[in-house]
Amino acid sequence: MDNKVPQLNIVGFLCNWCSYAGADMTGLGRNTYPSNIKVIRIPCTGRMDPMMIIEAFHNGADGVLVSGCHPGDCHYTEGNYYWRRRYPHLKSLLEHFGIDKRRFHASWVSASEGKKFAEVVKKVTAEVKDWRDNG
């Protein structure tokens, strides 16, 4: 896709049931998003081990996006509620360690929201780019 920002790596952890399907839907709907994002499918945002996010930053990711089902729509009923608690804490802790808040994001994208997924990725990429360019 042509709107890729050079040399920018974003890891996207997408929940199998909503956001991963949503990302598929993006393509079907002919929406485009920057291909800086590298997608890793996870079972559920509730399964999103913070270690993996830290590992991603450690291994050189410029940004990380975690995306799952909207609250109330979790395939496992409550996984994303746990994630909704983990996210602010993790973001705050990472920021304390010097990982800028523009580098770590989360979103709710359902299987039908292909367009929203494209928007989210665009926004995340822009934020990460802003961090890289403007410090």
The footprint of other proteins (CB under 8 A) covers 50-51, 54-55, 58, 71-72, 78, 81-82, 84-101, 105-108, 120, 123, 135
User: Among 5, 11, 42, 27, which Cα is nearest to 118's?
Assistant: 27
Shortest distance, position 66 Cβ to other proteins, whole Å: 9
Kindly tell me which of 86 and 129 has the beta carbon lying closer to other proteins: 86
Nearer to other proteins, 5 or 82 (CB): 82
Closer to other proteins by CB, 75 or 123: give it: 123
Sign of CA pseudo-dihedral 70, 68, 18, 112: positive
Least Cα distance to 82 among 43, 42, 46, 44 occurs for 46
